[in-house]
Amino acid sequence: MNKQLTDKDIASLLFQELDEEYLVAFDSSGEEFDVALEDEEAVSEEEENDAGSTSSDSEIEVPLSILATVPTEETYRGKDGTIWLKNLRRPNVRTRNENILTGTPGVNGQAKNAKTPLECFELFINESMLSYILCHTNTRIKITKENSNASNEYSYCYVSVIELRATIGLIFLAGLYKSARQNLQDLWSNDGTGIALFPMTMSLRRFSFVVNHLRFDDANSREERLAQDRLAPFRKLFVDFVANCQLHYTPFENVTIDEELVAFRGRCKFRQYLPSKPAKYDIKIFALVDAATYYSLNLEIYAGDQPHGDYKVSNKPHDVVDRLVTPISRSGRNVTMDNWFTSHPTYEYLLNHHKLTAVGTMKSNKTCIPEKFKAGKREENSSMFGFQQDLTLVSYVPKPRKNVFLLSSLHYQMEVDEATGAKQKPEIISFYNRTKSGVDNKIRAIEEVL
């Protein structure tokens, strides 16, 4: 007969170094639907196909050889067999390695010496990038001049770096005046309704000519590169920009992963159609940002199903997260994400391979969630917790017959945020609400100038 373990025995077994093989259970079937704090955005058909294969993956973190001896009444069990302890509390230990920050948060290196808006701009769009744009823009102008009868006119002259900077400056200024959708002639109007700085900088005809001839890659090799990369016309500059973002800033302790949508109605194979959004047509970008300052640390444009080659990558949530966290790997940060990215295996992977903790909402169809956590007749504002060695699962009822599920590798106690009063929200939810909006706040800031 198996000996019944005491709470002390269980804690001792769970928190020692475990060398046994973990049992992993996967179930890739099941339709995804939302039971979260926010409604899920529409996604493209390509993305739904990518995400579907991992929508209900789950992993048993604690070996069954240990938990098999734990009395059934002391555990919860998910549909796939994942076991959670009901009342496990970590013993008092020093801060885990995963929560020890490396690097001093804030601006780095030469960024500390940037005092003016222009100096800040040059940190991200540097001389090398401007020269690259200038080279290929003038190559395009040369072709236009050769095919034009007015090749000697000023409007057809090659662009200088000063003029290129002025053009970019006017584009920024148009955003500052919220003129993105305004007729350009209104900005150059000389009847007192225009903006004097525009005609003082260059003529409307010249501005339109330069903007129409802007090129961001080598047109001669574009077709060859497009055969392997849908993002070929903008790949180099985008990669350089992201590298500059990472070079000049170290994030604070909490970062956010989410998607952002950039309105775009041009021709593009991976453009998203989202009828519920104001712009309706958008480019989707996966983003890793500082939750406190909304600074972009990593960006990845969703290019759909890429051709076979170096740029063909998986668009499954787990793989997107794995790529996005690369610049903060093993830095002791916490990553907050929504239910599209959250899964049991992903959180274990972040902890073991990147030394990062994570907090996020979960979809109710995840097979690691015990059925008791989904009970529809639970008391309003009640919570249920489940514990494993490095993970905490919580189910909260904000209103009758609605459950919210969150998973955390940062929290490990039945903590309730007393500041929420009668709602008695778990601290995991309060933490999620404080750190989830990094990308959303960044988007709102951008929209202020669009």
Contact between 260 and 442 under an 8 Å Cβ cutoff? The reply is: yes
The pLDDT tens digits of the residues spanning 18-48 come to 333 332 332 333 333 333 433 334 444 444 4
Quick one: pLDDT band at residue 107, thresholds 50, 70, 90? very high
Distance CA(121)–CA(165), nearest Å, equals 11
Rounded to the nearest 10 degrees, how much is the dihedral formed by the CA atoms of 24, 29, 35, 36? Answer: 60
| 236 SS3 class | helix
**Count of CA atoms in the C-beta half-sphere (13 A) of 203:** 6
Going from N- to C-terminal start, the domains of the chain cover 27-105+315-436, 112-222
Contacts of 80 (CB under 8 A, 6+ apart): 25, 26, 27, 58, 60, 367, 368
Buried b or exposed e, range 219-254, using 16+ CB within 10 angstroms: eeeeeebeeebbbbbebbebebbbebbbebbbbebb
Contacts of 83 (CB under 8 A, 6+ apart): 60, 62, 64, 67, 70, 75, 76, 77, 388
Amino acid type, 137: T
The pTM is what? 0.82
**Burial group, residue 308, by CB count within 10 angstroms (0-12, 13-18, 19+):** exposed
Quick one: pLDDT band at residue 70, thresholds 50, 70, 90? low
Quick one: pLDDT band at residue 443, thresholds 50, 70, 90? confident
The pLDDT tens digits of the residues spanning 245-258 come to 999 999 999 999 99
Give the containing element (helix H, strand E) for 7: helix 7-14
